[in-house]
Amino acid sequence: MLRKGLAMKRILAMLLAAAAPAAAQQPSTAPAAPAAAQLPAAAQPPATPPAARQPNFDNVQIRVERLAPGVAVLFGRGGNIGLSYGVDGNVIIDDQYAPLTDRILAAIRSLDPDPIRFVINTHWHGDHTGGNENVGRTGAVIVAQDNVRRRMSMEQVVRGEHVAPSPAGALPVVTFSEGVTFHLNADDIRVIHVAHAHTDGDALVFWTHANVLHMGDTFFNGLLPFIDLDSGGSIDGAIAAVEAGLALANDATVIIPGHGPIGRRADLVRYRDMLVDLRDRVRQGIAAHRTLEQIKALRLADRYGPPDGFISPDALIETIYRSLRAPAH
């Protein structure tokens, strides 16, 4: 059985290289796809061969961006971290990788010296939960949807790689089925489960007063999405999750994607339209009795993303095809 850290590094190496935002260079202490065009150059993943894209945390810097009073986002290596800070202490949304914990905590202290009270995991993948054990040791309570704890407690398979169970100290200790609300730091922070989307344990996090929405990996801004069918994700659920986010957001809402730069409602609309367009076109191909290879040959996703990203157009089409042929339950 492979160790979880090593397996997740291999699985997500290209995603990390493609999605990590640029950060200011300083000494280390311890991107929505356009509707009818390829991604802008700034959002294009590098053309480095996949085998060369090994995650290296040595030079990763944590960049902090304030989004609203008492709300910030931290960019580093892995899923984007949301932060609520203020008189009631700190709440973080996801925690990236264990080797980055000291740098993440230092970045949080630059805004608020108080300890972290809660960690909310948007789903189970290791680039969002890898720091759980470290942060839990500081006294933080880890919170997630029921399926996050279930999947972290057992061996999983992601993109053909076996992922070992997480250590006990990394597991969520408070779980919920449909949602929970945190009344902290002069806000009501709603955590809302969206079923069978990126995985079967996804949660959106919405600061109702600050008007900030963390979409987790139900929104890849500037990248083709990864829908983890092995973890209960589905194309229809992915679209439904984006619709749920759009129902919460207005034109002033600041949206934190799981990967990529900060977005707005218009970016989420374009992302939704891309998913719907590809879902419907693949469905039409299936109805016309076309094989997967025949549907791939139509090059349906090429206009939405480069061929050498973490998720290539062909890979996304295959995921949608498989999801439609065997819907998640």
With pLDDT > 70 as the criterion, what percentage of the chain qualifies? Answer: 83
pLDDT of residue 309: 84
Take residue 254 and report the two structure tokens written for it. Answer: 């600041």
- Main-chain phi, psi angles of 303, to 5 degrees: -75, -10
For domain 4-325, give the CATH superfamily. Answer: Ribonuclease Z/Hydroxyacylglutathione hydrolase-like (3.60.15.10)
For the stretch 45-83, pLDDT in tens is 333 333 334 478 999 999 999 999 999 999 999 999 999
pLDDT, tens digit (0-9, with 9 covering 90-100), for 154-182:
999 998 889 999 999 999 999 999 999 99
Query: Per-residue confidence at 13, pLDDT binned at 50, 70, 90?
Result: very low
Question: What's the mean pLDDT in 191-220?
Answer: 98
Average pLDDT, the chain: 87
pLDDT of 14 reads 42
Can you give the residue ranges of every domain in the chain?
4-325
- Residue 307's pLDDT band, with cuts at 50, 70 and 90, is confident
